[in-house]
Chain A
Amino acid sequence: MTFADALHACFSGFGSIFVWPEFGLLVAGVILGAMVGILPGLGGAATLAILLPFSVGLPPTQAFALLMGVAAVTATTGDLTSILVGIPGEAISAATMVDGHPMAVRGEGARAIGASLFSSLAGSIVGAVTLAATIPFALVAARSIGSPEFFMLSLLGIGFMASLSGSSTLKGLAIGGLGLMIATIGMDRVGAIPRFTFGQLFLWDGVGAIPVSLGLFAIPEIVHLVANQAAVSTDVATVRGRLRDGILDVRRLWPLVLQSSAIGTLLGLLPGVGAGVSQWVAYGHAARRGAEHHEFGQGAIEGVIAPSAANNATLGGSLVPALAFGIPGGLMSAMLISALIVKGLVPGPEMLTPEAQGGHLTLVFALVWLIVLANVIAVALACLSTGLLVRITRIRAARIVPFLLLLTFIGAFTERQVIADLLVTVVMGALGLALVRYGWPRAPLLLGVVLGPLAENRLFLSVDAYGSQWLLRPGVLLIAALMLAAFVLPRRAHRWKRQQDVPSPPRVAKSSSFNGEHVFILLLAALLGAAVVVAASYPPRAALAPRLVAVATLTLLFAAVASDRLKTGRSEPTVSLPFTTPSIVTMVWIPIFLVVLWGFGFVAGAPVVVLGYLLVTGRERPVRAVVLAVVTGVAVYGLLFRLLYVPFPPGAFYSFLTGYFV
């Protein structure tokens, strides 16, 4: 492939999109993808699976215009839900919520949206350009990265837990350890040993990232919403002005945008890592970079820009191994590989060969342009509708809560279509409430859940394939040196800076009275102790990771408590979560939603439970409540069950009555 070939393919690819019906299909895909992104849990990958059979009869460029329209924008609009209502629109949008939602709460939702949209656009452009530029070199890179390097990279990611921990590194690491512990639940692939599954088959595949993220972040946010507020925000600042502020933030912080996009693209290049990880690594990088500001977690604009750029850049990066070798970087690129194969296009060197020589280079460049154009269209649409979107934050809490709870449970179900994941969400919600109430960070737990399986899997593959020799591979040594530099240098700089600043205040012991936080810590310690005991019954290899992680987490937990007691009062800037009557009432409704949706099914149960909440707790006027419930029923049945084929199961009560359980 010569430069002239590439240039020709680049222009041809661009031209191939601006014809009918290709462009129309792209816009249709973008609109569908934007909707799917906004609705929590309805994933882009599942939508692609539904669209795949419909694309079979279309020529390749038309099919990919539709599919890339969906794939490229779910992260962009998923960030909007994270910002506005504090529920991750997509699993890959959870990090945007950490700072984006506090901004919405204080009336800066439009500014956060502006920053998120334009950093998403920048990220997608960086990812797409990287895709175009690196495909020819991808084969060399892929061959040099084996399981040992993957393991080291996952360790590097786990190291970012410290960056996500606010000012209490020990607490963050302990909670990250808890996440790694949760990640050991499920079938051990090597030994075929079910770990911590307690006879439940749904746990064999582990605990899904979506139920964990919805439980940890959405449930506490919903409770927080009703605790002391009438709405997410009552700010009345002009949308246009705020949106422009966000765009200016992106321009001002362009080095961070580029760095985060680079992080997203690079992690996208690594199969199996994906945007679920890159968003947090970029967030951690932003937090580390701006360590002197203590706004992270409370509405720092950098905390919105970094993950938004990274999660969009990841798609472009993940398509490199997908197109060059057929190796999916994540679920979304796995779908796109399926689409290629359906079109009779085999990923490999032919994808890099000009059409004149029997290849598909123009199509590759068309994909690059589709990523960029899809995001341009999505950003334009979102900017035009920002005023409408921001109004969501001004709806009074009692009216919006039942819909947020319903969306949370629908989102939890749709990832794996397992009804038991609703229970996982509630359990994680309880954990999230405790973490927020006692000022413990939540992000490291999610990072542990995402990275744990990758780290364990790659460690055993490394040991099995190379023995102890894996430790001496150049790539391993290089990443180890990078890790050392990443963790030692900032600490030295921080220590030096502290020496320049005023001396630390004298340490005063905290009150020794036994409180709810102590109960919470003891409960965690008991669970970890029990895990050590249960793991003793597994074969040594299957037991290694859980026992090691449990003991390390217990140690960190007690170290965090000891350290906390030595400090002046509470060092962590805690999120206020008073358990007021409204919040307690809403907490009671959470299990009610669970039981009704499980018992009556989503189609029948959703309108019932929404109506119940609106009438009983929301004190809504009966006519309006009934109308809203009917609209809910129609949306769940018509839009989700019939149009999008979300396979809601019949309720357990109906199943029982109609003889399912024989």
Chain B
Amino acid sequence: MKDPASDVDWSGASLFPRIGWGWIVALAFSVGCSNPRSQPSTVDIFRGRTLRIIVGTSAGGGYDLGARVLAAHFGRHIPGEPAIVVENMAGAGGMLAANFLARQAQADGLTIGFIGENAVIAQLTQQPGVQFDVRQFGAIGSPTGNEADVCVLSRASGFDIARWQASRVPLRMGVTSRGSGPYARTVLLSAALRLPVRLIVGYQGTAQIRLAIEGGEVDGLCTLLSTYRSTFEPKANFPIVLQDSDRPDPLLAAVPSAASLVTDASGQALLRVSARIRALTRYYVVPPATPTDRLQLLRTAFDETMRDPEFLRAAAAAQLDIDPLPAADITARAAAVFDLPEDVRGRVIGLLLERTAP
């Protein structure tokens, strides 16, 4: 039987021998399929187009879910009702996505980003690789800009905030990674309140830390109240001993607030920085230099979506807390994180960069 491969000329000379009509067809096809981003000329650029939401985390987590639930409803409120797709651009704690938005994404209103506090902290601590300035992005809005921080200790430890402050042994607090929002706020909170802590860094999520608390590997953690509500059961085993928020939650009336325990100016300054970072936990932006009229269209659509009963139902079903923060507030707080007195700025950066281990 004849070997079908024997017809094939495998000689190296045949590698680039001819530019036939097949190539011409292929090139024509490729040109036809390409050029996905030509500059539109009208305000009504959204009609019949696809708007991309770039999420700086991998598929699955809270950021991704939030973006996907928003994507299902946001388009209805944008003139022209564009299709919306969510793209995950995970990497370097969200820095890849932030760099993409700052340097590569077209500023035409058809690409928006869902970024968060990691980008802010990376810029504040001058991480290598930062190619963006969060103050240059055009803020669209945040679905959850009024978060609270809570510190949770194992019920078995028997500690409350007074015993914690007086303890001579540092409590072991679980953290996911250095440079993350919870890491930064745990450091700032404990420094402001002079709480003795030893950070155990490297867990792969809050659920894993919860298991470590149950197993006695760590004593507790500081996290967002919304994360606590969705991750910790039964709550009686994980009592909240401290809260820090701009608007105290009525259900936490009996829990001491950080602001009431800090009396010195230095500690209060640290709490203010922590609060500003917390307000930037997750928010939507457009690339720098996006035309103002398009940004304004997106802001209006976002605000309308946040009031849309259908969206609110879907968010509630997905256990997403919706407590929006308008674009103007985000812009102000992003600026305020960097607009610090020199001594405060130096102390904050020093604390965030301090090594927990040699």
Which residues of A line the B interface, CB within 8 A? 45-46, 49, 52-53, 56, 142-147, 187, 189-192, 194, 199, 201-202, 204-205, 226, 229-231, 271-272, 325-328, 331, 334-335, 338, 341-344, 346-349, 396-398, 416-418, 457, 460-461, 464-466, 539-541, 580-582, 584-585, 588, 600-601, 603-605, 607-608, 611-612, 615-619, 622, 625-626, 629-630, 633, 637, 645, 647, 650-651, 654-655, 658-662
Interface: B319 (CB within 8 A): yes
Q: Which of B5, B17, B127, B176 is A398 in contact with, Cβ under 8 Å?
A: B5
CB pair A204 B92 closer than 8 Å: yes
- Distance to closest chain B CB from A61 (angstroms): 16
Q: Would B29 and A416 count as touching, CB distance under 8 A?
A: no
List chain B residues, Cβ under 8 A from A618. Answer: 8
> Would A341 and B319 count as touching, CB distance under 8 A?
yes
Q: What distance in Å separates the Cβ of A28 from its nearest Cβ neighbour in chain B?
A: 20
| A52: chain B residues within 8 A (beta carbon) | 65, 68
Complex CA–CA separation, A621 to B358 (angstroms): 66
Measured in the bound complex, the distance between the Cα atoms of B180 and A535 in whole Å is 24
In the docked arrangement, what's the CA distance between A661 and B105, Å? 9
The reply to whether B59 and A192 contact each other, CB–CB distance below 8 Å, is no
Measured between alpha carbons, how far is A143 from B230 in the docked complex, in Å?
A: 20
Question: With the chains together, A612 CA to B96 CA distance in Å?
Answer: 33
A327 and B34 in contact (CB under 8 A), knowing A53-B71, A189-B178?
A: no
**In whole Å, how far is A135's beta carbon from the nearest beta carbon of chain B?**
15
Contact A201 B99 (CB under 8 A): yes
Select which of A202, A335, A396, A617 is within 8 A of B10 by beta carbon: A617
B340 at the interface (CB under 8 A from A): no
* C-alpha gap A45/B59 in the complex (Å): 8
- What is the distance, in angstroms, from B132's C-beta to the closest C-beta of chain A? 12
Residues of B within 8 A of A202 (CB): 91-92, 96
With A189-B202, A204-B91 known as contacts, the answer to whether A651 contacts B34 (CB < 8 A) is: yes
Find A416's partner among B90, B104, B210 (CB 8 Å cutoff): B90
**Contact between B33 and A325 (Cβ–Cβ < 8 Å)?**
no
Given contacts A45-B59, A342-B319, 8 further A-B contacts (CB under 8 A): A56-B317, A328-B205, A347-B233, A416-B58, A464-B200, A464-B201, A582-B5, A651-B34
Q: Which of B20-28, B258-266, B269-277, B301-309 contacts A (4 or more CB under 8 A)?
A: B20-28
Give the size range of B's interface with the partner.
35 or more
B314 CB-CB contact with A under 8 Å: yes
Q: Is B218 an interface residue (CB 8 A)?
A: yes
Determine if B95 and A190 form an interchain contact, defined as CB atoms under 8 angstroms apart: no
Chain B, range 208-237, C-beta contacts under 8 Å to A: 208, 210-212, 214-218, 230-231, 233-234
Question: A539 near B358 (CB under 8 angstroms)?
Answer: yes
In this complex, what residue of A is CB-closest to B58? A416
Chain B residues within 8 Å of A607, by CB = 26, 29-30
The reply to whether A190 and B129 form a contact with Cβ atoms under 8 Å apart is no
Report B-chain residues with C-beta under 8 Å of the C-beta of A416: 58, 90-91
Residue of B whose beta carbon sits closest to that of A139: B214
Given that A56-B69, A617-B14 are known contacts, is A190 also in contact with B211, CB under 8 Å in the complex? no
User: Is the CB–CB distance between A660 and B30 below 8 Å?
Assistant: no
Q: Is B247 an interface residue (CB 8 A)?
A: no
- Cβ of B355: which chain A residues have Cβ within 8 Å of it? 191, 539
> B215 to chain A: which residues have CB within 8 Å?
142-146
Given contacts A230-B4, A328-B207, A461-B202, contact A199 B128 (CB under 8 A): yes
Contacts of B158 in A (CB 8 A): none
Interchain CB contact under 8 A, A53 and B68: yes
Going nearest first, the 7 A-B pairs with the smallest beta carbon separation are: A49-B59, A604-B30, A204-B92, A192-B178, A647-B87, A582-B10, A230-B5
C-alpha spacing A230/B8, complex, angstroms: 10
B157 to chain A, nearest CB (A): 14
Residues 166-206 of B, flagged 1 when their CB comes within 8 A of A and 0 if not, give 00000010001111000000000000000000101111110
- Known: A326-B207, A619-B7, A651-B34. Is A465-B200 also a contact (CB below 8 A)? yes
Q: In this assembly, does B253 line the interface, its C-beta being within 8 Å of a C-beta of chain A? A: no
CA distance A660 to B64 in the complex (A): 25
B88 touches A417 (CB 8 A): yes
CA distance A197 to B115 in the complex (A): 23
